[in-house]
């Protein structure tokens, strides 16, 4: 993806690229979440979605024969991602901060 300030010419939406992809290898999990939504196997070494990446268990053969993440596990992860999205009004009222404080490793 082009950065918001970058050149947008010739940039395809990631959904279009994933639709014709065998798998996704990415540095960070943002694109991996898009791959999860599309049902495309991925490898990510950084970010939250990296915990779902099975490549550590099977090695480089994963690139030739990627393992799809089970639908139930994929949906559970995407539900968690959706659950942790906050509206500006929830941030203004402090609801988001109250939730973060209650679930934080630092409490």
Number of other CB atoms surrounding residue 81 within 10 Å = 15
74 φ, ψ to 5°? Answer: -65, -45
> Which residues are 43's β-sheet partners?
25
pLDDT tens by residue, 34-87:
888 898 888 877 666 666 765 444 556 667 777 777 888 888 888 887 877 888
Cα separation of 69 and 95, whole Å?
A: 33
pLDDT tens by residue, 3-49:
666 677 777 888 999 999 988 888 777 888 888 889 888 887 766 66
Cα separation of 76 and 52, whole Å?
A: 11
pTM, two decimals, is: 0.61
């Amino acid at each position: 993806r082009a950065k918001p300030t970058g050149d947008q010419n010739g940039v395809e939406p990631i959904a279009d690229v994933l639709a014709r992809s065998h798998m996704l290898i990415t540095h960070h999990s943002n694109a991996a979440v898009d791959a999860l939504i599309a049902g495309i196997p991925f490898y990510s070494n950084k970010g939250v979605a990296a915990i779902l990446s099975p490549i550590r268990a099977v090695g480089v053969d994963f690139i030739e024969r990627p393992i799809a993440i089970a639908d139930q596990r994929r949906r559970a992860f995407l539900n968690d991602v959706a659950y942790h999205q906050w509206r500006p009004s929830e941030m203004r009222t402090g609801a988001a901060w109250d939730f973060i404080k209650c679930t934080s490793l630092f409490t």
